Chains A and B, each alone.
Chain A
Amino acid sequence: MKRVIQFKLNGVDTEAYVEDNVTMVNFLRQQMHLPGTKRGCGEGECGACTIMLDGEPVTSCMMLAVEANNHDIVTIEGIAKDGVLHPVQKEFIDKWALQCGFCTPGMIMSAVALLGRNPNPTEYEIRDAIAGNLCRCTGYAKIVEAIGAAAEVIRKGV
């Protein structure tokens, strides 16, 4: 069955016509043409498809598109504001926190969510926040470093 859903997508009121059995990640990539959200395992294990649902990070492969009705969705495409990168994005670049880049959008979503509620995380809290994001290049050390550096930037309000 198909139905109309109304939701906020990266700050913009959006209306779409979706099939009941389409997952959020497929809907975003194929119908909304937002390929920044990556589809990895499709089982909620790898975190590559992490998006924000009402400000909380969720794996979009474990969500139906119809569930977005009347909710607020933010994808990696909505993290930079007016062409200015978010501190997390900037630090990922500066600290070389990406190799192949496939996990990066999900990592950044988890990191932005963490720093939104805790701008002064310990290393444990950073690792806990990205425990549901797998980096197959195993570049975790740089990722943790970048998130810590972004936290500092946010705290200083630069």
Chain B
Amino acid sequence: MSLPRFEYISAKSLEEAAGLKAKRGDASVVMAGGTDIIPLMKDRVIMPDYVIDLKEIPGLQRLECVPGEGLYIGCLTKLRAVETSEMVRKEFPAVAHAAHCVASTQIRCKGTMVGNICNASPSCDTGPIEIVMNAVYKTVSASDPGREIPAVEFFTGVKKTALKPGELVREIYIPQLGPGEGAAYSKHAVRKAMDLAIIGVASWVKMDDDKIADCRIAVGGAAVTPIRAHSAEGILKGRQFTDELLERAAVAAAECCHPISDVRASAEYRADMVRVFTKRSFKKALQDMKPQEGRRTE
């Protein structure tokens, strides 16, 4: 289980790292926490000549909630920091929970949230919640000033993202929840820790009185990327919330998945669990909803 030979480069800036990545292409790999790339190198899935480490670049550990805007998470911000931050737990409980769902304390103390999305595992825990909360990934690039990629457009395949060669994610931006809005992520795995999701479902909802004004549902582990369950959202939107309506939407969410059978679960089981966990995450989102404007909280 030794590592292949490579040259380690500690980048001084994100621009330098992006430039190096653009120049070296597939002969190089970018490392933040390293918890995804080190096992890949040990297994000889990747054998880069250069490992470009971002860790010593200052100023990339941002974890800030800007009032009226939302949450900013830098590309070196550890999952552990996101999970344990009182501010994130209070204002973005679903994000803190999704961060906690990843692996173990030891991995979260090293691994970053940006790394978790850039690794683009179909069952990644932080993708679905970022998709439903309309998160945006701000990038830097070797050749241009960088851009903003909506989370829903970021995942393009198994371990594939919309990032171009030499483009790196600098920061995640997650908009603040407004009045009457709630979000939640529900993961299904055999163990509570150190286990990949069999499936995971994230929900975001905006309520107007008892009516579902708007909603978004995203499913992880049930297709090559985390996906939006548009048909399920269509069933819920504009209607009064009832358990029967949610059951219909949950069935629709299960039908829009394309899960595989593997060591963790069969495709049929995954689809059925998407149905179950769509209901759980949607109800949790309702439960954690911010009070609606002009309504008293009990």
Contact = CB atoms under 8 A, between A and B. Distances in A.
Interface stretch (B85-93, B103-111, B163-171): B103-111
A66 B104 contact: no
B194 A132 contact: yes
B80 interface: yes
Given A50-B106, A58-B109, A67-B55, A21 B194 contact: no
A63 interface: yes
Nearest to A60: B106
A23 B41 CA distance: 12
A53 interface: yes
A57 B8 contact: no
A26 B3 CA distance: 11
A50 B80 CA distance: 16
Contacts of A64: 3, 8, 34, 38, 51
Interface string B74-97: 000000100000000000000000
Contacts, number: 93
Contacts of A45: 194
B8 A58 contact: no
B106 A59 contact: yes
B242 interface: no
Given A1-B8, A64-B8, A131-B193, A110 B105 contact: yes
A20 interface: yes
A124 B37 CA distance: 31
A44 B1 contact: no
Interface residues of B, number: 30
A134 to B, nearest CB: 8
> Which of B7, B38, B104, B194 has the most chain A CB atoms closer than 10 A to its own CB?
B104
A63 B55 CA distance: 12
Contacts of A26: 2
Interface in A47-91: 47, 50, 53, 56-59, 61-64, 66-67, 69-70
Interface in B1-15: 1-8, 10
Contact of B8 (A20, A53, A113): A20
> Which of B5, B42, B106, B191 has the most chain A CB atoms closer than 10 A to its own CB?
B106
B161 interface: no
B51 A110 contact: no
Given A44-B103, A44-B106, A58-B106, A21 B4 contact: yes
B8 A66 contact: yes
A134 B85 CA distance: 27
Contacts of A23: 3, 38
Interface of A: 1, 3, 20-23, 26, 42-45, 47, 50, 53, 56-59, 61-64, 66-67, 69-70, 110, 113, 128-129, 131-133
30 contacts: A1-B8, A20-B6, A20-B51, A21-B5, A21-B8, A22-B3, A42-B42, A43-B39, A44-B39, A44-B103, A44-B107, A45-B194, A47-B104, A53-B109, A53-B110, A57-B105, A58-B106, A58-B110, A59-B104, A59-B106, A59-B107, A59-B110, A62-B107, A63-B110, A64-B34, A67-B53, A110-B106, A128-B192, A128-B193, A132-B103
Given A57-B105, A58-B110, 16 more contacts: A1-B8, A20-B7, A21-B2, A42-B1, A44-B106, A45-B194, A56-B80, A58-B109, A59-B110, A62-B38, A64-B8, A67-B34, A131-B193, A132-B103, A132-B107, A132-B193
